Chains A and B, each alone.
Chain A
Amino acid sequence: MANILSNVMSKSPWIVHVNCNSCNGCDIELLACLTPIYDAERLGVLNVGTPKQADIMVVTGSVNHKNINMLKNIYEQMPSPKAVVAIGACASTGGVFHNCYNVIGGVDEVVPVDVYVPGCCPRPEAILDGIMQAADILEKKRLDNKG
C-alpha cells in the first residue's frame, strides 16, 4: 500500500514541449520517445499541450530576444512543483550558435534548469533518462515543499 502512495510525482510526469529556436532535430528525437519503439507512456509520461497541466518543461533550442518572453510566460504558467529539462546542446548552452548576434544563450539564462541532456541531438534513450531524472527531482521538490 505504501508503495502505491509514494513517489507520487515520479510516477506520472507530464511534459510540455517548448521549441525555442531549435532546428527540430531534438524535437523529432523527443517525439520519437513517444512512439512505440521507445514508448515513454509506459513510464507515465504524457505530452500535454498546456503548461498548466504539465510538471516538466522540456525545452529544445536556444534562447533569443524574440522567444525569451514566450519561454518565461510558459514557465510561469506551470504550477509547482515543476522542473525544466534542457534537451540538446543549443538548449544547454546555446550550442553552435552561442555567439550569434541574436542568441542570448542556453535556457538557463531565463529559467532554472534541473536536467541537461547534452548532444546534438541526444538519443531518445538519453532524453527519456533525462525526463525520468527530472521526475525524481520533482518528487524531491514535492517532499521539500511538504516538509
Chain B
Amino acid sequence: MIYILKILLVMILSPVAGCLLKGLDRKITARLQHREGPPILQPFYDFLKLISKENIAVSKYQNIFVLIYFMFAAASLLMMFFQMDLLMIICVFTISNVALITAGMSTGSPYSKVGSEREIISMLCYEPVLVFFIVEMYMLTGSFRISSIDHLDKPLIFYMPLAFLSMLYIMLIKFKKSPFDLSSSHHAHQELVKGIMTEFSGPALAVIELTHWYEAIFLLGLMFIFAKQYTLLGLAIAAFTYIFAIIIDNISARLTWQWMLKFTWTVVIELTIVNLLGIYFLNLKAL
C-alpha cells in the first residue's frame, strides 16, 4: 500500500517540480538577458495549449515512439526513487533515449534525421562518463545499488571530485543546453529547425514536454547521489548543477559536434578514468 502511495507521489510531484524548474530556467535566462521573462508557470500553459491542439503527424506510427520515450523515462525515475541498481536504471533510461532518436528518424524529415544523428553522437559522449561514475560508486560502496550509499561516512563527492566535474559537463549535454544543444534546441534557439522534434506537434509534443520534466528531475537526482547521505548537501549540489547549466547556457554559443566529441573523449573521459584508477590504486573503500 505504501508502495502505491509512493509511486503516485513520485509520478505526480516530479512533473510539477520539473515544470517549475523549467519555468525558473526561462525566468533566470530572461533576467540574465535583462528582460522580464515569462511567468514561472509558463511551461504549464504551454503544455495545456499543446494538448488542445489538433493531433497531426507525418507518419501514422511516429507517436508510438513518443509513448515509449515517456513510459521508460518515467519508469527510470521511479526506479531511482526506489533506490534500485543504478546500472540497471541507466539501461532502462537508454531505452527511452533510443526511442526518442528512433522517433526522430522515423518521420523521414531530413532535419530530424540530422538531429537524431547528433543525438547519437551525444549518446556516444555522455554514456561512458555515466557508466564510469556508476562503476566508481561500486568501487567505493561494494554494490551497484543506490541504497548501499547510505553506509558511507563521507559523501561520494569527497572521493570522486573528478567524476563530479565530468558529470557536471555531461549534464550540459543531457539538458540539451548550450554549448551542446545540437540535436534539438529549446525555446527558439534554432538550428536544424527543431532537430528531432521538428515533426512532432500537439498532444505528442505535450507528452515530450512532460517527459522532459521527468527527465530533468531524473538528471538532478543523478547529481543528488553525490551527497545522498546529507539531504541538504545533495539538494544543494543538484541546485548548483541546474544553475550552472543555466548560466553556461547563457554565456556560451553552440559548438559543433566534432568539438564535443573530441573534447569529451580526450579530456572528460580521461578525467573520469583517472578518478577510477585513483580509487583503485589508492584502494579507497569508503566502507
Chain A interface (Cβ within 8 Å of chain B)?
A: 4-5, 8-9, 11-12, 34-37, 39, 41-44, 46-50, 52-53, 55, 77, 79-81, 142
Contact = CB atoms under 8 A, between A and B. Distances in A.
Contacts, number: 83
B209 to A, nearest CB: 11
Interface in B1-50: 26, 30, 33-39, 41-42, 44-46, 48-49
B200 A11 contact: no
B35 A36 contact: yes
B54 A41 contact: no
A38 B20 CA distance: 24
A12 B49 contact: yes
Interface of B: 26, 30, 33-39, 41-42, 44-46, 48-49, 52-56, 187-188, 190, 193-194, 197-202, 205
Contacts of B200: 52-53
A47 B187 CA distance: 8
A136 to B, nearest CB: 14
A46 B187 contact: yes
Contact of A9 (B37, B49, B198): B49
Contacts of A48: 188, 194
| Interface class of chain A by DSSP | loop
B35 A4 contact: no
Contacts of A50: 193-194, 198-199, 201
B45 A12 contact: yes
Contacts of B35: 35-37, 39, 41-42
B46 to A, nearest CB: 5
Contacts of A81: 53-54
Contacts of A9: 49, 52
A34 B190 CA distance: 14
A44 B42 contact: yes
Given A4-B41, A44-B46, 14 more contacts: A8-B52, A9-B52, A11-B45, A36-B33, A36-B34, A39-B35, A39-B36, A42-B35, A43-B38, A44-B38, A50-B194, A50-B198, A52-B200, A55-B49
A12 B46 contact: yes
Given A41-B26, A79-B53, A5 B48 contact: yes
Contacts of B30: 39, 41-42
Contacts of B49: 8-9, 11-12, 55
A121 to B, nearest CB: 21
12 contacts: A4-B41, A8-B52, A12-B46, A12-B48, A36-B35, A41-B35, A41-B38, A44-B38, A44-B42, A46-B188, A50-B198, A77-B56
B56 A49 contact: no
Contacts of A43: 38
Contacts of B194: 48-50, 53
A74 to B, nearest CB: 12
- 3 nearest CB pairs, A to B: A36-B35, A79-B54, A52-B201
The CB with the most chain B CB atoms within 10 A, among A35, A44, A47, A49, is that of A49
B42 A52 contact: no
Contacts of A35: 35
A44 to B, nearest CB: 6
Nearest to A142: B52
A36 B89 CA distance: 42
Contacts of A44: 38, 42, 45-46
Given A9-B52, A49-B190, A52-B200, A42 B37 contact: yes
